[in-house]
Structure 1
Amino acid sequence: MNTDILFREAFRGRRVLILGGLGFLGSSLALRLVDCGATVTLADAMIEEYGGNLRNIAPVRDAAVINFCDIRDAAAMDWLVREKDYVFHSAAQVCHLKSLSDPFPDIDINIKGTAVVMEALRRFNPTAKVIKLGSRGQYGSVLQLPAGEETKPEPKGIYEISLLAAEHIMRSYHRNHGIRCVLSRLTNIYGPRAQMRHNRFGVANWFMRLAIDGDLIPIFGDGRIKRDFLYIDDCVDALLLLAVTPEAEGEVFNIGHDAPSDFLTLAETIVAQAGSGELTFTPFSPERKAQEPGDFYTDISKINRVTGWRPSTALAGGVAETIAYYRENREYYW
């Protein structure tokens, strides 16, 4: 499938709003969409430590419109959603550990914020298509792997519960008001433009910072817990394919990798690609143990069947690209 041609034809001249547009996922979408000829507006609250970074969009800074605002601001959302063809909703409170000590940002941003966005669309642009970026954490612990979309969600924490609630809010607006929604549950995404200042989300990227700095990389337990680590470019391809596929509307899709790895292999790959860093084994902290669901990887057969998407980046290749990016742009992320 030649996605470059498909996306250029689909998005050229289209008006796109990206919520959380200066963060890791939002900015990656922005770069690709501007390249495809879309008119892109980015909205970001730039909440401290959440990952919003103007460096992320440096190549398209003059081509995109930036609005510094919060999705909980109804007046801002009422204005920004107007006349947009697509809305990518990637704005969220995304720190698992923070939700254990303070659940209210999850409730306020992820639930209330999503309701504000959907109400703005209902009132001012009900023909737009909105694509929600959710999390594999919505499943919680599962008994059978890989986890398919039909798996009953059993989220463990307020963070995951709030994302599942946001998904249900959007489904309600799809059913009751006809707003075209596509719902995604993303696995462990890594790559350039993710925040690198702390380890509270994005373990793969954090391991790469430690390796670049020549530090110890902590492996919890024996390191054999499995995940499906997915490179950001593959994730962007999946989201754009879902956006332009009519059959995806109203559906939930896993976006992950069909070749799961484990944390030990991840760390060994990072050290090998970086040529620096060292592994060390450590017991789980009580906070991490409370949030750890064990092995988890998703079934991506549904998105493959509906859109033809399948990841194309192997772990070593994605890690190499990511390390090269941060070595060149370290001053903007450390």
Structure 2
Amino acid sequence: MPDHVLITGGAGFIGTRLARRFVDAGHTVTVLDSLLPQVHGDDPRTTSPLLRSLDGIATVIEGTVTSTDDLRAAIDGAQIVVHLAAETGTGQSMYEIDRYVEANVGGTAKLLDILTNESHSVKRLVIASSRSIYGEGAYRTVDGRTVYPAHRVDADMAARDFDVHERGEGPITMIPTDEQAKLHPSSVYGITKQMQESLVMTVAPTIGVESVALRYQNVYGPGQSLKNPYTGILSIFSTLIRQGKAINIFEDGLESRDFVYIDDVVESTFLASTLPSAGGHTINVGSGVATTVNEVVAALFAAFGSEVPTTITGNYRLGDIRHNVADLARLREVLEYEPQTDFRTGVGRFVEWVLSEPIEESGYERSLKEMAERSLLK
């Protein structure tokens, strides 16, 4: 049976594509979004292609999850809620702490308060969690044990030792992190995502609402903001390449992430929202492949067919992790889904889209200055 779906933060990169996926499957969609200028520009109705893509697709409510009245209006009639709304960006979270906590934790608390204390028709709540809650994730010792190392320290990185160490152990090797891993986020953003997930997965079952937590890895693809300097190195580097500006690579360029293509994220989220078997599960959503920053730059140069100067600076940001890659066994088992787009193919599609967009100032240099002034960028 068709459902009425509410997507909070639904005018963003993931939400707009997800809205179309639900509508294509016969569902009705309402979007609640604050239309932040950092993402949508100063006049979203004319400057945001993401918002315009919802025309004829979804009912859009301009509002915020920090307002009980806005949430109450958006929830009305919904059977499924996909809670995407959040402030994002590891670096910015370290100095805009109140804003991140208010939006991410406070907004989730308000949503759950309504579902707990007021009449509604919601039967499933999907929370967009994050790989950031793992901190450094899982590593294997030389004798085969799994450990979860502490965060890297400033003194080591200042000496250009960027590797992860575990006290009392020899060399350790990064392995895919599964959902049973220790949770120890290294940034304010990661802390707020852990709290969002914990709130939803604790409260929802007590009020008869099925809950699903999706731990997204690094999502990329067409539609990703080219204006927001606080998230998405593919967007940041692409803008620099088009401007002919040099790329400064932090650390030694060997730090890695699990980059997952937008279509795989959308399909995983749709399945998590609709499959009866998904209820109650926490699931990694990624590609299962670690890609270094150096490999990202090489892939972008190949896709653009042009290069700009690059410098491996040795700079580093406090709060950043070294590596993370997702174990996808539960994604395959519960959602019966296998990611479809490899990184090279995804980057090609992303760059093709980027080349169709105007070249805009991203504010990247300003964001670095803000972090340096607060001694978060070394």
TM-score normalized by structure 1? 0.90
Q: What does residue 102 of structure 1 align with? A: 96
**Matched residue type, 2:16:** S
1:112 to 106, 110, 113: 106
Q: What does residue 63 of structure 1 align with? A: 57
Deviations 1:239-288 (A, max 9, x none): 111112222212211101122221111110111011123251233445x1
2:134 to 130, 139, 153: 139
Query: Post-superposition shift, 1:315?
Result: 1.2
Determine helix, strand or coil for the equivalent of 2:129.
Answer: strand
Query: Post-superposition shift, 1:174?
Result: 2.1
Q: What does residue 296 of structure 1 align with? A: 324
Describe how 1:108-187 pairs up with structure 2 within 5 A.
Answer: 108-122=102-116, 123-125=118-120, 127-144=122-139, 145-187=175-217
Taking structure 1 as reference, are residues 224 and 51 closer, same or farther at Cα in structure 2, changes over 3 Å only?
farther
**Matched residue type, 1:232:** I
Structure-2 separation of matches of 1:273 and 1:162: 35
**Matched residue type, 1:23:** G
Query: Post-superposition shift, 1:120?
Result: 2.0
Instruction: Please tell me whether the aligned partners of residues 138 and 161 of structure 1 are also in contact (alpha carbons under 8 angstroms).
Output: yes
Instruction: Please tell me whether the aligned partners of residues 253 and 312 of structure 2 are also in contact (alpha carbons under 8 angstroms).
Output: no
Instruction: Please tell me whether the aligned partners of residues 6 and 80 of structure 2 are also in contact (alpha carbons under 8 angstroms).
Output: yes
Structure-1 separation of matches of 2:360 and 2:123: 34
Structure-2 separation of matches of 1:163 and 1:63: 29
2:356 to 324, 328, 332: 328
Instruction: Please tell me whether the aligned partners of residues 212 and 323 of structure 1 are also in contact (alpha carbons under 8 angstroms).
Output: no
Instruction: Please tell me whether the aligned partners of residues 24 and 51 of structure 1 are also in contact (alpha carbons under 8 angstroms).
Output: no
1:88 to 78, 82, 87: 82
Taking structure 1 as reference, are residues 146 and 26 closer, same or farther at Cα in structure 2, changes over 3 Å only?
same
Structure-2 separation of matches of 1:51 and 1:247: 36
Determine helix, strand or coil for the equivalent of 2:244.
Answer: coil
Q: What does residue 5 of structure 1 align with? A: none
Deviations 1:97-138 (A, max 9, x none): 222112111211111100111222232325431111111001
Q: Does 1:223 align with 2:253?
A: yes
**Matched residue type, 1:304:** R
Structure-1 separation of matches of 2:187 and 2:119: 34
Describe how 1:254-293 pairs up with structure 2 within 5 A.
Answer: 254-286=284-316, 288=317, 290-293=318-321
Structure-1 separation of matches of 2:228 and 2:314: 18
Structure-2 separation of matches of 1:195 and 1:103: 22
Determine helix, strand or coil for the equivalent of 1:189.
Answer: strand
Instruction: Please tell me whether the aligned partners of residues 223 and 262 of structure 1 are also in contact (alpha carbons under 8 angstroms).
Output: yes
Determine helix, strand or coil for the equivalent of 1:319.
Answer: helix
The farther-off stretch of 266-275 and 212-221 is 212-221
Structure-1 separation of matches of 2:360 and 2:75: 30
Taking structure 1 as reference, are residues 210 and 36 closer, same or farther at Cα in structure 2, changes over 3 Å only?
farther
1:77 to 71, 86, 95: 71
Query: Post-superposition shift, 1:57?
Result: 4.4
Gaps spanning 5+ residues in structure 1: where?
1-9
Instruction: Please tell me whether the aligned partners of residues 195 and 333 of structure 1 are also in contact (alpha carbons under 8 angstroms).
Output: no
The farther-off stretch of 219-228 and 207-216 is 207-216
Structure-2 separation of matches of 1:38 and 1:333: 37
**Matched residue type, 1:298:** A
Structure 1 or 2: larger helix share?
1
2:229 to 184, 199, 212: 199
Structure-2 separation of matches of 1:261 and 1:331: 26
Structure-1 separation of matches of 2:251 and 2:311: 7
Query: Post-superposition shift, 1:292?
Result: 1.8
Query: Post-superposition shift, 1:228?
Result: 1.2
Q: Does 1:46 align with 2:35?
A: yes
The farther-off stretch of 202-211 and 39-48 is 202-211
Larger radius of gyration: 2
Q: What does residue 162 of structure 2 align with? A: none
Determine helix, strand or coil for the equivalent of 1:281.
Answer: strand
Structure-2 separation of matches of 1:236 and 1:216: 33
Instruction: Please tell me whether the aligned partners of residues 221 and 281 of structure 1 are also in contact (alpha carbons under 8 angstroms).
Output: no
Query: Post-superposition shift, 1:314?
Result: 1.4
Structure-2 separation of matches of 1:100 and 1:185: 21
Of all paired residues, the percent bearing the same amino acid is 26
